[in-house]
């Protein structure tokens, strides 16, 4: 994935998150997802995807000499912002 695309995704997702938190609050983001099984499924899918990314990120960080803990904690605290920022800060040419 190219850096410009990651930057665009991060900015767009950041803007969407800012508006959602402003309108509904942090608790409100989860309250909407817990109102019915469709929302719970989306939330469960996000959790599974982030856990899979955390496993990959752990291995990738260790292989490239980076400390994985800050990125894992950032992912747990901010969701998809952690993986997006991790990918943005990888050295060019890393797989």
Q: Is the pLDDT of residue 95 over 60?
A: no
Domain extent, residue 47, equals 3-89
Burial call 26-49: b when 16+ CB within 10 Å, e when fewer: eeeeeeebeeeeeeeeeeeeeeee
pTM score, whole prediction? 0.85
User: Is residue 95 assigned to a domain?
Assistant: no
> What Cα–Cα distance (Å) separates residue 7 from each residue in 20, 22, 86, 88?
20, 22, 12, 8
> What tens digit of pLDDT does each residue of 31-57 get?
988 999 999 999 999 999 999 999 999
Taking Cα atoms as reference points, which of 92, 94, 39, 37 lies closest to residue 61?
94
What's the number of domains the chain is made of? 1
User: Is residue 55 assigned to a domain?
Assistant: yes
User: Is residue 60 assigned to a domain?
Assistant: yes
- Under the banding of pLDDT at 50, 70 and 90, the label for residue 19 is very high
State the pLDDT at residue 92: 66
Dmax (CA) for the chain in angstroms is: 43
- Under the banding of pLDDT at 50, 70 and 90, the label for residue 2 is confident
């Amino acid at each position: 994935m190219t850096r410009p695309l990651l930057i665009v995704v991060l900015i767009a997702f950041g803007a969407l998150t800012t508006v959602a938190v402003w309108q509904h609050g942090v608790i409100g983001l989860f309250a909407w997802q817990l109102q019915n099984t469709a929302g719970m499924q989306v939330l469960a899918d996000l959790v599974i995807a982030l856990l899979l990314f955390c496993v990959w990120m752990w291995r990738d960080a260790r292989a490239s000499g980076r400390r994985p803990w800050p990125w894992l904690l950032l992912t747990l605290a901010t969701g998809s912002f952690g993986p997006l920022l991790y990918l943005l800060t990888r050295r060019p040419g890393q797989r």
